[in-house]
Amino acid sequence: MGKVHEDLRALARSDEAWAQGQRELARIVSEWRALPHVAPVLTALDRFGRGTALEACAPLAALFGADGDPAGAFVDALMTRGVTALADLPLGQMPFRHAHRQEADTLLLAHSGTATLALAVYDGESLRRQPEPRTVQFAPMEVWWRVLSGGGRAERIACPAPSLLPGPLLPGTPVELRPGTVLHRDGAREAIQVRGVEGSLVILRLQRLASLHEPVRAFALADGALQGQSAPTAEFNRLELAMAVLVGLGRQDAVPVLSRIAHGTGPAALRWQALRAILAMDTRAGLVLLGAMAAGEDGDLAQPARDLHRALVAQWPELEKVAQWRG
């Protein structure tokens, strides 16, 4: 430990030492990407991210095939080099995007278009401290998992047909997670929730966005009630957050921009959020836009717009005259 503390103090005193360490880590990652059994996978991921079927991207598909050796070799080549380097560079950071959530940590190994290849690590002790899930989320994603190490249990939960909602969701189907387990699902129709882990669980995860126009939906497990929905990409979620900030600040000068988003070709959830933001800041402009949507032929928003208009007018009849629109 004394050697580690000395190294930490030395690195803290020297920005150049830290920068040199980062360059070394970047070099290691570049060498890994160029390896003969890694480069073809990344090339295949690029094709996959542009819409090519997985079976036509053989090096990538092999990571999720019956033979687990390609996936193990792909990840081990990076981990062996990376862990060795980090032992000498305790303040270093591997040049990958990463995220920490209550249920899992993720390391983004590569991405192309709407496809990502990542490692997800679940910690059994952290998972035990989490409350029992009350909701389940369905996202318009194609998802493949391969368990690399560890074990645990999960539940595969099906999204009921709209005609069956609201109503209790069907009990999940138990799934045993062991090294070599491979799972594939249509995220808009099925969700997998990891419920318990023995020690730690490492999963190689491939996913690709299937639709920009279908939102991510969260339902209550108990009664199937819709708890919320959001846009399917981080970019659109940032726009939603920005709209919420504009509403909080009362920025009516943003209404023209929000109106263009609402009339645009983005995801329905994003356009609906823009409409709601306008209604919150400028009632008349919002009602005019709501009327146009309700009278239009937008397959995603016309009916919700008519329902919202009826609900608003039923609660506040005076709104009927605000925009001089009658549905």
**How confident is the prediction along the chain (327 residues), in pLDDT tens digits per residue?**
566 666 666 655 567 777 888 898 999 999 999 999 999 999 999 999 999 999 999 999 999 999 989 999 999 999 999 888 888 888 888 889 988 887 789 999 999 999 999 999 999 999 999 998 999 999 999 999 999 999 999 999 998 877 666 777 778 899 999 999 999 999 999 999 999 999 999 999 999 998 877 788 888 888 888 887 777 776 777 887 888 898 888 899 989 999 998 888 877 778 888 888 998 998 888 888 888 888 888 877 888 888 888 888 888 887 777 655 444
Query: In this structure, is residue 198 part of a structural domain?
Result: yes
Query: In this structure, is residue 316 part of a structural domain?
Result: yes
Residues 89 and 28 occupy one common structural domain: yes
51: number of Cβ within 10 Å: 10
Average pLDDT, the chain: 87
Can you give the pLDDT at residue 7? Answer: 64
Residues 183 and 288 occupy one common structural domain: no
Q: Report the length, in residues, of the chain.
A: 327
Interatomic CA distance for residues 75 and 70, integer angstroms: 9
Residues 80 and 107 occupy one common structural domain: no
Residues 260 and 295 occupy one common structural domain: yes
Query: In this structure, is residue 66 part of a structural domain?
Result: yes
Which of 67, 95, 123 terminates a domain? The answer is: 95
The closest of 72, 198, 49, 197 to 146, measured between CA atoms, is 72
Residues 124 and 216 occupy one common structural domain: yes
Query: In this structure, is residue 111 part of a structural domain?
Result: yes
Output the domain CATH number for residue 155. 2.60.120.10
Query: In this structure, is residue 192 part of a structural domain?
Result: yes
Interatomic CA distance for residues 210 and 139, integer angstroms: 9
pTM of the model: 0.74
Residues 88 and 194 occupy one common structural domain: no
Say if residues 188 and 144 touch (Cβ distance below 8 Å). no
The number of distinct structural domains making up the chain is: 3
Token pair recorded at residue 297: 């032929």
Residues 90 and 114 occupy one common structural domain: no
Residues 112 and 159 occupy one common structural domain: yes
Residues 31 and 139 occupy one common structural domain: no
Q: Which residues form the domain of 129?
A: 96-225
Query: In this structure, is residue 199 part of a structural domain?
Result: yes
Query: In this structure, is residue 239 part of a structural domain?
Result: yes
Can you give the pLDDT at residue 244? Answer: 86
Say if residues 246 and 217 touch (Cβ distance below 8 Å). no
111 contact partners, CB below 8 Å, separation of at least 6:
45, 49, 117
Which of 225, 245, 261 terminates a domain? The answer is: 225
The closest of 229, 90, 86, 68 to 149, measured between CA atoms, is 68
Say if residues 55 and 61 touch (Cβ distance below 8 Å). yes
Query: In this structure, is residue 327 part of a structural domain?
Result: no
Can you give the pLDDT at residue 325? Answer: 47
Residues 195 and 256 occupy one common structural domain: no
Can you give the pLDDT at residue 12? Answer: 59
Which of 39, 67, 95 terminates a domain? The answer is: 95
Residues 177 and 124 occupy one common structural domain: yes
Residues 220 and 279 occupy one common structural domain: no
Can you give the pLDDT at residue 2? Answer: 62
Tokens 């070599």 sit at which residue? 180
